[in-house]
Structure 1
């Protein structure tokens, strides 16, 4: 079968979907990855997996109608050249425009379209307040409805998003749905590492306010004053827009000295190996945060929020702690437990690894996706109007 996989960010075809694409190729399918151009070019890496790379002009951010219509037409042209039997899109714009383009190419044909919802992001972070947020919410909802209406099946990464979309009326009854364990994690690549001697807290995140990095900085300042020997580290890329942490805020954190702000890295494993506890106080609508899964796989205890996507990773008291979103006092108290009782990091970290093995192994997650799409030998696939494999990895 010829399969087109459409993403909004070229490196994600390798970093997040690479094992899935490789598994498709190993099963004998012809795989084509579509994403915007990126420097450095990911084409050679996709070719090494056995897949072809096609560049599409698609902006990840912004709502420029003319540019987005142009992107839709370019995706349609690319699909006309590839002539796939199946399309899988993930992230917001590819789900909308990739699914619509596939149906435009396949008018009257019984070929299949799937979408993966990898988190709902800023537009759905909270109840829309203010005119601008209400407009953004309703535009995003309408666009999702249009894209999903062109699909045969939807893959969610957590049950909260599935329930939320069904309450909004975005998913027609005829469209099958399933829930899987995020993008999964490569348990061999993210192997267990010995814990450091000191108590080290690490947050890996894009520097966005909705990811809770400001809350982490405030908790670090409070705890550093009480426990000078504790270490707090933050690493991640700068972002732009109203939700972004500003360079002035980062400079202030560095001057205060409680928080080590590091440059983003390509390989997070050394940073995770140097940490004893992983912290992500996000109130962003996550799918299942990949960084938490990587930390769990390496045997790290987790402190995160009782919010969609994040709550899937932690059983409170077993492998970490859940705190209310935007609650810096609760976050501080949860982190302080590891300073007062350093043995917790070892006990809860071992449970994190066991939970990653049981629920988030990338091979199991990918097989759940492929079975839903009917791509495993003997797999039933998703029949229209039927929920196929719901909760398989959630």
Structure 2
């Protein structure tokens, strides 16, 4: 029996696999790979084990620490030497930076770096900004393949010389994991769960409900959202806002915004929720006023639930939402355009319904999880074959009009 090619997927925290790349390990296991997840244990490691992958604990510290990072690099080198992976996939910056170095030093045949965000829009300054950009560019240089999460991100990175377009790729219309169209589908069962959530939160059945899913911090546009909601709720006293997600202590909004979230009876902060599809079902309009994103998976999930989306015209969001088709895009860091777009959908219910329906159709046509995974599988198998390694599936057999829709930079 031929040996299965070994794939290592490295993430900062294992919860990344459960949230941003759910079931991806399972897919690769089912298609003939021996999969190992490498990352910091955070209580969610059983989820990847349940997908058929092995798990190894590796502490990729988010903060800059020369000594700690060097120790992690040495551990990675030893780990790669022992495990002898045929391919490694590196997600988030620290695993990418250390993983590409360790991969090159140990001769890993295929090194894939996933580029999820545009760092040049971050708020870091001075030496920290320089080190961050340098690590990012260095990771791209060492990788054999750079998978950008959307086309505009790739274009921006190529323009500033951070990515060699010859080794870069975007799968389909973007996204790194697609959307589970069965999970995020407006079924009668989910509609009923949405009603139950409204009852639990003491929201009238006919009350209009805005919703968002985010880590609550400044860069997600929480300040603009609360200010826009404050303005709209004066005009529409029955208006409600559901916020799914925890406060991000690294970049909290001003105290008055936090107090309003906690104390305004029209705002329902429900914290982190595993079953976010139930909460989408309780919403009428989804709002994501972010300053910067890689792609914004939540926008696509909301569209898949037939919700009209109001988001910002930035890299990522401008591809997860098609202006005038699945939602409305507004300038980032602005309150009045955000409020105006939301009010437009509150008043014009037919438009809201139309955008929601078109959003679902777009999700089905362009972001089906299975299409994204098959594109990834085909690319990885081809990279292995180019290195003289027998892939578990011949890339030429992974066919279909949807599966082959991938574009190179």
TM-score with structure 1 setting the length: 0.88
Distance 1:336 1:293 in 2: 21
Give 1:389 deviation, angstroms. 6.8
Give 1:288 deviation, angstroms. 1.4
Distance 1:220 1:231 in 2: 9
Task: Assess if the C-alpha contact under 8 Å between 2:214 and 2:244 holds in 1.
Answer: yes
Which residue of the partner structure matches residue 370 of structure 2? Answer: 363
Residue from 42, 55, 58 that aligns with 2:57: 55
Residue from 233, 244, 256 that aligns with 1:224: 233
Residue from 303, 312, 316 that aligns with 2:310: 303
Which residue of the partner structure matches residue 385 of structure 1? Answer: none
Give 1:82 deviation, angstroms. 1.6
Does the C-alpha gap of structure 1 residues 224 and 144 become closer, same or farther in structure 2, counting only changes over 3 Å? same
Is 2:142 aligned against 1:177? no
Give 1:162 deviation, angstroms. 0.9
Secondary structure of the residue aligned to 1:7 is strand
Task: Assess if the C-alpha contact under 8 Å between 1:6 and 1:90 holds in 2.
Answer: yes
Gaps of 5+ in 1: 382-387
Measured against aligned partners, the alpha-carbon deviations of 1:300-321 in whole angstroms (never above 9, x if no partner) come to 1100001000010222222210
Secondary structure of the residue aligned to 2:295 is coil
Which residue of the partner structure matches residue 278 of structure 1? Answer: 286
Distance 1:146 1:248 in 2: 41
Is 222-231 or 77-86 further displaced after alignment?
77-86
Is 27-36 or 339-348 further displaced after alignment?
339-348
Which residue of the partner structure matches residue 270 of structure 2? Answer: 262
Task: Assess if the C-alpha contact under 8 Å between 2:113 and 2:140 holds in 1.
Answer: yes
Secondary structure of the residue aligned to 2:358 is helix
Secondary structure of the residue aligned to 1:279 is strand
Which residue of the partner structure matches residue 154 of structure 1? Answer: 146
Task: Assess if the C-alpha contact under 8 Å between 2:240 and 2:267 holds in 1.
Answer: yes
Residue from 9, 22, 32 that aligns with 1:18: 22
TM-score with structure 2 setting the length: 0.85
Does the C-alpha gap of structure 1 residues 222 and 248 become closer, same or farther in structure 2, counting only changes over 3 Å? closer
Does the C-alpha gap of structure 1 residues 391 and 216 become closer, same or farther in structure 2, counting only changes over 3 Å? farther
Which residue of the partner structure matches residue 29 of structure 1? Answer: 33
Count of paired positions: 373
Distance 2:136 2:96 in 1: 7
Residue from 210, 231, 237 that aligns with 1:201: 210
Give 1:390 deviation, angstroms. 5.1
Give 1:376 deviation, angstroms. 7.3
Does the C-alpha gap of structure 1 residues 75 and 254 become closer, same or farther in structure 2, counting only changes over 3 Å? same
Which residue of the partner structure matches residue 90 of structure 1? Answer: 91
Distance 1:188 1:390 in 2: 23
Give 1:255 deviation, angstroms. 2.9
Distance 1:91 1:311 in 2: 21
Residue from 113, 120, 124 that aligns with 2:120: 124
Gaps of 5+ in 2: 195-204, 382-390, 398-403
Superposed CA RMSD in Å reads: 2.3
Which residue of the partner structure matches residue 318 of structure 1? Answer: 325
